[in-house]
Amino acid sequence: MPGSLTGLSGLFVSAFVSSTVAPGGSEVVLAYLANQGQYPIGQLLVVATIGNTLGAMTTWGLGALAAKKFPVATLLPTNKQKALAIVKKTGVWMLLFSWLPVIGDALCFAGGWLRLAFWPACLLIMLGKLGRYAAIAWAFN
């Protein structure tokens, strides 16, 4: 399939960018590709989940870097201060909700800022993202 790589790589890039501080619409791309039926749903879920998880872990890494340079939480914008307080209170489990619009990126950033354990954070972020993408693929398949 000549368009095969383009569709999957486009989904990956969209998912990655959507999970960083840049805006994106990976859900729309996934819904479109799922509706087209050109790719197996499992393949779409894997590509979107990996891309989105890697983007979220990039944001987590930025939070960890920011904590080294700016250890005072008051330097953060208001939305990230709230996310930092929530993540500090609930711990790594809050990262399961990193799929949420608007606050999800802030939760990942806060997780890195607080230096939450990398692998548990990655696993919970991935599970949350997979759940969201599975619901979207099911709705549009």
Confidence (pLDDT) at 110:
87
Residue 99 has pLDDT above 80, yes or no: yes
pLDDT, tens digit, 9 for 90 and up, residues 101-141: 878 888 999 899 888 999 999 999 999 999 999 999 999 98
Whether 129 and 53 have beta carbons less than 8 Å apart is answered as: yes
DSSP letter (8 states) at residue 76: S
Question: How far is Cα 111 from Cα 88, in angstroms, rounded to an integer?
Answer: 8
What digits encode the pLDDT tens for the residues 40-59? 999 999 999 999 999 999 99
Write down the residue that tokens 């197996």 correspond to.
40
pLDDT of amino acid 1: 42
What pLDDT, on the 0 to 100 scale, is given for residue 88? 78
Q: How far is CA 61 from CA 27, 48, 66, 75, 118, in A?
A: 23, 20, 9, 18, 9
Domain extent listing, the chain: 4-140
Q: How many CB atoms lie within 10 A of CB 74?
A: 6
Write the burial class of residue 48 (CB in 10 Å: 0-12 exposed, 13-18 middle, 19+ buried): buried
Q: What is the mean pLDDT of the chain?
A: 87
What is the pLDDT confidence band of residue 5, given thresholds at 50, 70 and 90? low
